[in-house]
Structure formats: C-alpha cells, structure tokens
Amino acid sequence: MDQYFARRGHPSHNGGMRKLMILLVTLAALPVLASDFDKLVTGVVDAYGGEAAWKGVRAIRQNGTVVTMMGKNGKMTRTWDRAHKLHVETSN
C-alpha cells in the first residue's frame, strides 16, 4: 500500500488517521468547553440580577455608533424584545 501512495505522489496514507485523531481530540474537549461556557453564562445572568430578573426583561435597547470600512461614523440602535424580534437601525 505504501508503494501505491508513493507512486501517486501522496505523502502518506495516514492522512485519514490524522483527521480522525483531530476529530476525537476535539470531541473529547467539548465537555470542558461547554462547562466553561455554562459558568460564563451563569456569571453574566447573576451579574444582572439572576434568572428571575432576566425573566422580567421585556425588551433590550442599545444605542451606539458604528464606523464603516471607509471611516465614516454613523449611529446605530438595536432593539430586541421577548417575541424574539431584533430590529437594527443605522443612520449617519
């Protein structure tokens, strides 16, 4: 088999095994990453008054500025409400 791959110009027939190992290592790391993400979300919710306070939020409105790739400044308003509606407005 090695001679087949060498004749075809392939560096090795172990490429599939390498991809499999990368996949397995990534899958093994997911629970650790998920645990850290859960801690982060819990910390943010707690910082804003806890789960009960979050459930009482009806809408979030954010105002700010944006800068285009060409360096022009503009205003931005982003509004989210409980019906899972997001509305974004930009102006100059």
Whole-number pLDDT of residue 31: 78
**What is the structure's pLDDT at 83?**
83
Identify the pLDDT of residue 9: 55
Q: What are the per-10-residue average pLDDT scores of the chain (92 residues)?
A: 55 71 82 80 89 88 92 93 90 86
Predicted confidence at residue 4, as pLDDT, reads 55
Q: How far is CA 69 from the centre of its chain?
A: 23
Q: Quick one: pLDDT at residue 5? A: 54
DSSP string, the chain: -HHHHHHHT-S-S-HHHHHHHHHHHHHHHHHHHHHHHHHHHHHHHHHTTHHHHHHT--EEEEEEEEE-TTS-EEEEEEEEETTTEEEEEEE-
pLDDT of residue 21: 84
* Measured CA angle at 63 (ends 48, 79), to 5 deg: 70
